[in-house]
Chain A
Amino acid sequence: MEIREFHWLMNIVQNLDVGLVVLDKEYKVQVWNGFMESHSGRLAGEVRDGVLFELFPGVDRAWFERKANMVFKLNNRAFSTWEQKPYLLRFSNYRPITGSAPHMFQNLTLVPLADFGGQVTHIAVMIYDATDEAMLMSGQRQT
């Protein structure tokens, strides 16, 4: 890949409207993209090498470790939907004025990242904003 392309890709990752976090086996943060910076209010430099559960004590540790374990051991994706677990990290609603949800509802996808030998050494966590869907569904349920 050209260095120019690489630069673009990095830029896109930074600007993606999806939260991207890379964690190692000790759950230490390795990558924290722009979305995560904006919504958590913590810069990448602040959280880097910090353990996720210590940085954010509100995270349901047992639950998240169980999910991550499936990814590390099975080299397989894992998922979580807002319906079963509303969020991993409590972020404010993206639309603080007109949005009616108390917080951002999140869908998660956990992706294995393997080293050159095929061993899963890290996982990527992608956080999608599912607030609109959640609001739509709860609205339907009420009517």
Chain B
Amino acid sequence: MNVLICDDSGFARKQLARALPADWDVTLHYAANGLEGIEQVLMGHGDLIFLDLTMPEMDGYGVLETLQREGLRNKVFVVSGDIQPEAYQRVMGLGALDFIKKPAAPETLSALLKQHELWQAKGAATAHDIRSTGQSVSDVGSLDTGIKISPEVRDVYQELANVSMGQAADLLARLLNAFVVLPIPNVNVLEVSELHMALSAAADSDTLSAVCQGFIGAGIAGEALILFHDSSFKDLARLMNHQGVLDRNAELELLMDTANVLIGAFLRGYASQLDTPFSQGHPVVLGQHRPINELINTNKSRWRRTLAIEINYRVQDYAVQCDLLLLFTEDSIATMNNKIMHML
């Protein structure tokens, strides 16, 4: 079976792919917006589609409408952070099989797939596997807390991020003597639970490491987080021109240095456009001294949603892949919005 994950956030795509049952025998395909999604469907890559609602080019509703109009009977699960009752009614009316609240937990997904007879657990199912998926839709009320960002303002952030990224890629190319595949930054409101899931994945996996670094300047504060996916330390060392033995300490230092460079390159451009210099703190490899799960639990109550700029870095000819997330505190958003208003 061909399964398509259609979401404009690379972070969200990976998140979902990781949450699918490991023993599920399917081929995964990805699309970054509705139009790409439809193209993939026409190529036969969408027997089952996990569909985000808010996307550029064509949104999730557009995809569902197109499928309906063309008489295509692909199975669609809508995966969205925005689960207001109208949205739910509307996508179900457009023929979606079910509605999954973002971020989708592995247990929710496997229960849902089982319910729709798309996947069977090998071996006995454990108790916590069986959980009602309807429950997710019921806590709609709590979603209205936290920040709101209008589409116009989001566009400005997007533009800021694009320009910063261009400058960053140029700087990095000169420093590293390697071609950084220019990614398009993604500006989104991130649910804190999405972040928790990504961090827990980093805690569980040997091939996923997370480095964070705080930054602050003139009323704007935040934290940059870099997730390295299956990056080979040998390639990182080659990229960063690291000589000598590659022991555990050297590996940690490499992670911190790479994170610092990638974060610094982007922040520099971002800061110059906002006309606010940032100071960056020491980078820290997460989970080194305290288990990541502990960190997550401590911070659980502090915030729910935040503005996130997400950049998926790839470096040509090196097995180096990472996601950079810039997360801003809620009180920084007001200051940044003010600065942005002057640019409009």
Contact = CB atoms under 8 A, between A and B. Distances in A.
Partners in one complex: yes
Interface residues of B, number: 25
Q: On chain A, which size bracket covers the interface? A: 20 to 34
A62 B264 CA distance: 22
Interface string A61-99: 011001101100111111111011100000000000000
Contacts, number: 54
Contact of A76 (B249, B250, B264, B289): B264
Contact of B261 (A70, A83, A107): A70
A77 B240 CA distance: 16
Q: Is the interface of B mostly helix, strand, loop or mixed?
A: helix
Interface string B221-245: 0000000000000000000111110
Contact of A73 (B174, B250, B253): B174
Contacts of A66: 240-242
B63 interface: no
Contacts of A70: 175, 257, 260-261
A53 to B, nearest CB: 16
Contact of A85 (B241, B253, B289): B253
B261 A76 contact: yes
A74 B240 contact: no
A109 B213 CA distance: 14
B197 interface: no
A80 B250 CA distance: 11
A73 B177 CA distance: 11
B212 to A, nearest CB: 13
B171 interface: yes
B166 to A, nearest CB: 15
Contact of B244 (A62, A79, A84, A109): A62
Contacts of B256: 79, 81, 84
Interface in B246-294: 249-250, 252-253, 256-257, 260-261, 264-265, 268, 279-280, 282-283, 289
A79 B261 contact: no
Contacts of B253: 80, 84-85
B282 A74 contact: no
25 contacts: A62-B243, A62-B244, A66-B242, A70-B257, A70-B260, A73-B174, A73-B175, A74-B175, A74-B265, A74-B268, A75-B171, A75-B268, A76-B261, A76-B268, A77-B264, A79-B282, A79-B283, A80-B253, A81-B256, A83-B249, A83-B252, A84-B249, A84-B253, A84-B256, A107-B282
